[in-house]
């Protein structure tokens, strides 16, 4: 799943996923890191501009840090495994 940063209500999407997955089911989830050094440099240098392709892609409605993303998964009791 590579859509959570593009949807208005990611909690609703995760809740739906939780109800559809079997107890032993798995889902692959990837998100861009809002705490990425490139993005932080753009913020610090006052160069925060949306583009067609980047961490600031204009289609992204949400931004997540590793902590905020883990919190959201914890709400729905998903086990997070890093690869």
pLDDT of residue 1: 55
pLDDT of 50 > 60? The answer is: yes
The pLDDT, as a whole number, for residue 83 is 56
Please determine, for residue 5, whether its predicted confidence score (pLDDT) is greater than 60. yes
What's the rounded Cα separation, in Å, for the pair 6 and 1? 11
Mean pLDDT calculated for residue range 25-53: 77
pLDDT at 37: 77
Residue 53 confidence (pLDDT) above 90: no
């Amino acid at each position: 799943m590579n859509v959570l940063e593009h949807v208005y209500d990611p909690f609703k999407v995760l809740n739906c996923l939780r109800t559809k997955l079997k107890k032993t089911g798995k889902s692959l989830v990837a998100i861009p890191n809002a705490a990425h050094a490139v993005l932080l440099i753009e913020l610090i240098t006052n160069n925060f501009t949306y583009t067609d392709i980047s961490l600031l892609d204009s289609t992204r409605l949400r931004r997540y840090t590793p902590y905020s993303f883990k919190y959201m998964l914890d709400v729905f009791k998903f086990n997070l495994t890093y690869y």
